[in-house]
C-alpha cells in the first residue's frame, strides 16, 4: 500500500516557535510569534495577545476561602462570585455595540403569555431543584467517604460559570478568543509543576482532555505514531523525490552506534529512542535546506494514521509479534480500551501482577521484557500508575526507569507513561512554589528539601520527583485537582509528537494562530473547563502553598482514619478490622514482637492525636508519614469474630463485607430512583480483589492478614477516598461519631453473619 500518492487525510503541520503557544503554519514560519512573559503585575502577553490574566500573579493563601464547605459556610462568597459573573454577562452584552436594536422588547415582556411562561419555568425548575435536594449525593460531606469525588474549589466553579455563560469552544481560537489562551497558560502551569520547561520545540506540551480515559488513549496513539515513524520515514525516503537529499540520514541506536536509518533492521527500527525519532525530520530538513514542517508534512503520510496498521505489516517481518503495552494489573480499564482502539488489541495490553502493596511487580516486568527481547516483540509503552483507582498505590517509577536503562543496553527501547490521572496533583505537596514564568534554574530542583512534615512516605515522594523523566503523563484536574467534571489532561515531555497527531479539517481555521484544539481526539472542547482550571490555579497554585495544602490535609485525614481503623475493634466487638496497607514494621518483615511494639507506639503517639501533637514528636511524625496507603484511598476489611475466634472462612468474610457495603451505599428502586439521601448517615464504596488480576502475593498476604484460610479467588474490600480538604482534627468529636456509626453497624451485621455461618446455629 502506498500512502504517499493518495494521502488519506489533510494534515496541518505545526511549527513551534521559541514561545509556548503553537502556531499552525502551512506556508511559513513567523519567528517570535508567541512568547509568554510578565507584562505588568497581573497580566502576561501570549503572542500578539497582550494583557492575558497572569496565572501566577494572584494566589490566595487562605484555605478557609477555597471551598464552599460542607455546611455551605462560604455561600456568601460563592454568591458574590456568581453574581459578578451574571452582572458581567449583562454588561458585556449591553456594552457590545450599544446602538444595536433590542429584540426582546419591554412590550413583549409585559404580555401575559410572557409572564406565564417565566412563572412556569420557575415552577418547573423548583421541581427539578427538589429532585436534587432529595437525591443528590453529598460529595462535600464528611459523611461521604466513598468515590473519588469531593468538594470543588470556588474559583473552579466561578471560572467555569464565567466560561459557560460565554460558551467558547476551544476547538479553534476563532471560537474561543478568551479560553484558548487560558488553556495554554493552565497547561503550561501543569508542565511546570511536573518540572518540565515549555520554552522550546523539543520541550513539554500539555492540553486539556475530556478525561483521563481520553488522555490515556492519546498517549497510546502518539506512542504508536512515534514507534512506527522510522518505518514511515524509510518509506518516504524511498518514494519521495523531494527527500532524496536526506537518504543517508543516520540514527543513533540505543547501543550508541550510528547507522544509516534505511540500513537498520526492523528490530533496530523499533528500538530507537523517542527523542532521537522525533529529531529525525528536523535533521533531514537541515540536510535538505528545508523547514522541519516541510519534512513532517511528507513523512506523516506514511505513518499508521495514514496507512493503518495494515499498511505497516512489513514492519513485523522477522519479529515475534506486534507491539505490546505493559501495565500493572491495578490499571484503569481505559488501558485495554486504548490498546483496542489503537489497533493493537486488548491482548497486547499485558498486565503485570502487583506486590502486597498493590504496586507493579518489577520482577514480573523484567520477565515480560526478557520475553519481549528474546522473541523480538517490540514494546510500545510501559505504564507506571501513580495513584491506582482502587487503592491509590504508586508504582515504583524509579525502578522502572532503571530497568529501562538496563534494557536499552540490550537493545530494547520503550516509552514510559505515568498514569497519574488520580494522583497527579499530589505532587504539589512537595513542589516548590512557582509563578507563571519559570527559568531553567527554577526547574533544576523543583522540589522542596525539608519533607519532615509532608504526610507522604519517602518512597512516594521519590516517585513524584521521577515523573519528569518519562515521556508522557496523564493528570486529571477533575480527580485530585478537585475541579468539577470534566477536566483531564495529557502531558508530553517532547512536544514534537504533536506533529504526528494533527488532523485539520477546513473548518479549523486559518494559519498562525495559537491553538489547542487540534492535537487531540476530541472536536468541540468546553472553553469553560479551561477557564475553570485557569482560575483555580490562579487562586490555588499547584504547589506547596496551594494544592499542596489541600492535599496535605487529605493525606493527614487519611492517615488519621487509618489509625482509627487499626484500633476500631475493641475486645468486646464481634469483628476485627484489617486495613489493606500494612504498618511499616510489617511491610519491612520485622518480627511479630517488633510489629506489636510499633502498633503500641502508634496507639500512644498518633491515634486520636491532633496534627500539632504528632508534629511535636519527631519520632511519631516520622512514622506518621509512612502510615497508610501511598495516597488517600484507603481499603479495609471486616472479619467476624465469634467467641474471641476470628472467622477463617472467606465466604463468611465476603458476606459480612457485602452487608456492610449494603448499609452504606445508595440503593435504587426498580424504577431506577435513588433512595432518599437523607437516610444515609455514612457513605462508603467497595471493590473486589480477584486473584487472576492481582496475583498470589497480593491475595495471599491480604487473606492471611484478615485471618482467612485457604486461597480465596475473591476478596471484597471497603474503599474510602478521603478527600476532605480541611484539618479534621478540629472536628474530632464528629469524626468519632462517624467511626461509632461504622463500628455499631459492623457489630450488628457480624453477629448475624457469624450466627448463620456457625454450624451450631
* Contact residues: ligand PLP, CB under 6 A: 211-213, 216, 332, 334, 385, 387-389, 419, 421-422, 476, 479, 488
Cis link prior to 732 (omega < 30° from 0)? no
The position carrying cell 504528632 is: 614
User: What do you get for the CA distance between the two ends of the chain, in Å?
Assistant: 74
Instruction: Give the nearest distance from C-beta 214 to ligand PLP in angstroms.
Output: 7
Q: What is the DSSP letter of 711?
A: -
Closest approach, Cβ 348 to ligand PLP, in A, equals 18
Q: How far is the CB of 442 from ligand PLP (least distance, A)?
A: 29
CA distance 746 to 666: 17
CA 183 to chain centre: 17
- How far apart CA 43 and CA 20 sit, in angstroms, is 16
CB of 444 to ligand PLP, least distance (A): 29
Which set of grid coordinates corresponds to residue 391? 487503592
Q: Can you list the pairs that 246-254 forms with residues at least 24 positions away whose Cβ atoms lie under 8 Å? A: 246/283, 246/284, 246/287, 246/288, 246/295, 249/280, 249/283, 249/284, 249/287, 251/276, 251/277, 251/280, 252/276, 253/411, 254/408, 254/409, 254/411, 254/412, 254/413
Please, which residue, 303 or 357, has the CB nearer to ligand PLP? 357
Judged by DSSP in three states, 548 sits in helix
Q: In the chain, how long is the greatest CA-to-CA distance?
A: 89
Name the H helices within 144-178: 154-166
Q: How far is the CB of 493 from ligand PLP (least distance, A)?
A: 19
Residue nearest to ligand PLP (CB): 212
CB of 632 to ligand PLP, least distance (A): 12
Closest listed residue to residue 275, CA positions, set 501, 15, 493: 493
Phi-psi sector, 144: left (phi>0), alpha (psi -120 to 50), beta = beta
Q: How far is the CB of 429 from ligand PLP (least distance, A)?
A: 18
CA angle 601, 606, 612 (to 5 degrees): 135
Interatomic CA distance for residues 30 and 16, integer angstroms: 10
Tell me the closest approach of the beta carbon of residue 422 to ligand PLP, in angstroms. 4
| 714-721 and 683-690 beta bridge pairing | antiparallel
Least distance to ligand PLP, CB of residue 160, Å: 16
- Cβ–Cβ contacts within 10 Å for residue 522, how many? 16
Q: Are 52 and 35 in contact (CB under 8 A)?
A: no
Compute and round to an integer the Cα radius of gyration of the chain. Answer: 28
Residue 248, C-alpha cell as written in the block: 543517508
- Give me 442's grid cell: 527554577
Rounded-to-integer distance, Cα 737 and Cα 718, Å: 19
Nearer to ligand PLP, 404 or 479 (CB): 479
- Kindly tell me which of 332 and 493 has the beta carbon lying closer to ligand PLP: 332
Shortest Cβ distance from residue 343 to ligand PLP (Å)?
20
Q: Closer to ligand PLP by CB, 189 or 476: give it.
A: 476
Helix (H), strand (E), coil (C) string for 667-692:
CECCCCCECCHHHCCCEEEEEEEEHH
Pick 232 or 490: Cβ nearer ligand PLP: 490
Closer residue to ligand PLP (CB): 268 or 419 = 419
Contact 304, 312 (CB under 8 A): yes
Q: Output 303 or 476, the one with its CB closest to ligand PLP.
A: 476
Nearer to ligand PLP, 478 or 560 (CB): 478
**Cβ-Cβ contacts under 8 Å for 361 (sequence gap 6 or more):** 328, 352, 353, 354, 355, 695, 697
CB of 511 to ligand PLP, least distance (A): 33
- In the complex with ligand PLP, which residue's Cβ is closer, 387 or 629? 387
Shortest CB 517 distance to ligand PLP, Å: 19
Q: How far is the CB of 135 from ligand PLP (least distance, A)?
A: 22
Q: How far is the CB of 476 from ligand PLP (least distance, A)?
A: 5
Judged by phi (left if over 0) then psi (alpha if -120 to 50, else beta), residue 46 lies in beta
Nearer to ligand PLP (CB atom), residue 12 or residue 488: 488
> 479 vs 549, which CB is nearer to ligand PLP?
479
Amino acid at each position: 500500500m502506498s500512502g504517499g500518492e493518495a494521502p488519506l487525510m489533510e494534515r496541518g503541520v505545526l511549527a513551534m516557535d521559541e514561545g509556548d503557544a503553537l502556531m499552525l503554519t502551512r506556508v511559513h514560519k513567523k519567528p517570535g510569534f508567541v512568547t509568554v512573559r510578565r507584562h505588568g503585575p497581573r497580566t502576561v502577553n501570549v503572542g500578539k495577545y497582550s494583557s492575558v490574566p497572569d496565572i501566577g500573579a494572584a494566589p490566595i493563601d487562605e484555605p478557609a476561602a477555597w471551598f464552599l464547605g460542607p455546611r455551605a459556610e462560604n455561600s456568601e462568597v460563592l454568591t458574590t462570585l456568581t453574581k459578578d459573573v451574571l452582572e458581567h454577562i449583562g454588561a458585556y452584552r449591553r456594552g457590545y455595540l450599544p446602538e444595536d436594536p433590542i429584540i426582546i422588547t419591554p412590550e413583549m415582556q409585559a404580555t401575559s403569555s410572557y409572564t406565564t411562561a417565566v412563572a412556569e419555568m420557575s415552577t418547573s425548575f423548583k421541581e427539578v431543584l427538589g429532585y436534587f435536594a432529595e437525591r443528590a449525593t453529598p460529595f462535600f460531606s464528611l459523611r461521604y467517604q466513598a468515590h473519588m469525588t469531593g468538594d470543588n474549589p470556588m474559583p473552579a466553579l466561578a471560572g467555569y460559570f464565567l466560561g459557560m455563560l460565554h460558551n467558547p469552544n476551544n476547538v479553534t481560537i476563532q471560537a474561543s478568543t478568551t479560553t484558548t489562551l487560558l488553556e495554554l497558560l493552565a497547561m503550561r502551569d501543569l508542565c511546570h509543576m511536573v518540572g518540565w520547561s515549555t520554552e522550546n520545540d523539543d520541550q513539554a506540551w500539555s492540553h486539556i482532555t475530556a478525561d483521563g480515559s481520553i488522555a490515556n488513549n492519546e498517549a497510546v496513539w502518539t506512542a504508536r505514531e512515534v514507534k512506527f515513524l522510522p518505518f514511515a520515514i524509510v518509506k518516504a525516503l524511498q518514494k519521495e523525490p523531494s527527500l532524496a537529499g536526506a537518504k543517508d540520514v543516520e540514527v543513533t541506536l540505543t547501543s550508541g552506534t550510528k547507522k544509516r536509518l534505511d540500513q537498520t533492521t526492523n528490530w533496530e527500527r523499533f528500538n530507537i529512542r523517542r527523542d532521537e525519532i522525533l529529531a529525525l525530520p528536523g535533521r533531514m530538513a537541515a540536510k535538505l535546506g528545508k523547514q522541519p514542517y516541510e519534512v513532517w508534512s511528507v513523512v506523516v503520510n506514511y505513518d499508521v494514521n495514514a496507512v493503518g496498521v495494515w499498511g505497516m505489516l512489513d514492519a513485523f517481518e522477522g519479529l515475534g509479534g506486534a507491539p505490546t503495552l505493559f501495565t500493572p494489573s491495578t490499571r484503569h480499564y481505559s488501558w485495554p480500551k486504548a490498546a483496542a482502539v489503537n489497533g493493537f488489541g486488548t491482548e497486547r495490553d499485558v498486565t503485570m501482577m502487583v506486590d502486597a502493596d498493590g504496586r507493579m511487580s518489577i520482577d514480573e516486568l523484567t520477565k515480560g521484557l526478557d520475553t519481549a527481547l528474546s522473541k523480538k516483540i517490540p514494546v510500545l509503552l510501559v505504564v507506571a500508575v501513580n495513584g491506582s483507582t482502587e487503592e491509590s498505590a504508586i508504582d515504583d517509577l524509579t525502578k522502572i526507569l532503571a530497568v529501562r536503562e538496563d534494557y536499552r543496553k540490550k537493545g530494547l527501547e520503550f516509552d514510559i507513561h505515568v498514569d497519574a490521572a488520580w494522583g497527579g496533583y499530589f505532587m504539589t505537596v512537595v513542589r516548590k512554589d512557582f509563578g507563571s514564568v519559570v527559568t531553567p534554574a527554577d526547574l533544576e530542583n523543583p522540589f522542596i528539601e525539608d519533607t519532615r512534615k509532608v504526610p507522604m512516605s519517602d518512597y512516594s515522594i521519590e516517585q513524584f520527583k521521577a515523573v519528569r523523566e518519562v515521556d508522557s503523563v496523564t493528570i486529571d484536574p477533575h480527580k485530585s485537582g478537585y475541579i468539577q467534571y470534566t477536566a483531564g489532561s495529557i502531558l508530553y515531555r517532547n512536544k514534537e509528537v504533536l506533529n504526528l497527531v494533527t488532523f485539520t479539517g477546513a473548518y479549523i481555521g486559518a494559519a498562525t494562530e495559537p491553538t489547542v484544539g487540534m492535537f487531540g481526539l476530541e472536536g468541540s472542547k468546553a472553553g469553560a473547563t479551561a477557564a475553570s482550571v485557569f482560575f483555580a490555579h490562579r487562586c490555588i497554585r499547584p504547589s506547596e502553598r496551594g494544592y499542596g495544602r489541600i492535599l496535605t490535609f487529605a493525606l493527614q485525614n487519611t492517615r488519621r482514619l487509618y489509625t482509627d481503623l487499626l484500633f476500631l475493634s475493641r475486645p468486646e466487638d464481634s469483628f476485627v478490622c484489617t486495613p489493606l496497607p500494612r504498618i511499616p514494621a510489617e511491610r519491612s518483615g520485622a518480627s511479630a514482637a517488633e510489629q506489636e511494639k510499633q502498633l503500641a507506639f502508634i496507639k500512644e503517639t498518633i491515634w486520636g492525636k491532633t496534627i500539632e501533637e504528632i508534629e511535636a514528636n519527631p519520632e511519631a511524625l516520622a512514622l506518621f508519614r509512612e502510615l497508610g496507603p501511598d495516597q488517600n484511598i484507603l481499603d479495609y476489611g471486616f472479619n467476624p469474630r465469634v467467641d474471641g475466634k476470628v472467622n477463617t472462612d472467606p465466604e463468611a468474610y465476603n458476606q459480612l463485607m457485602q452487608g456492610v457495603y449494603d448499609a452504606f451505599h445508595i440503593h435504587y428502586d426498580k424504577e431506577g430512583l435513588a433512595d432518599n439521601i437523607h437516610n444515609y448517615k455514612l457513605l462508603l464504596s467497595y471493590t473486589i480483589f480477584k486473584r487472576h488480576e492481582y496475583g498470589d502475593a497480593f491475595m495471599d498476604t491480604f487473606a492471611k492478614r484478615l485471618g482467612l484460610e485457604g486461597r480465596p479467588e475473591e476478596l471484597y474490600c471497603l474503599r474510602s477516598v478521603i478527600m476532605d480538604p480541611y484539618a479534621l482534627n478540629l472536628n474530632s468529636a464528629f469524626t468519632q461519631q462517624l467511626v461509632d456509626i461504622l463500628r455499631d453497624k459492623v457489630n450488628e451485621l457480624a453477629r448475624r453473619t457469624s450466627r448463620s455461618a456457625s454450624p451450631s446455629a
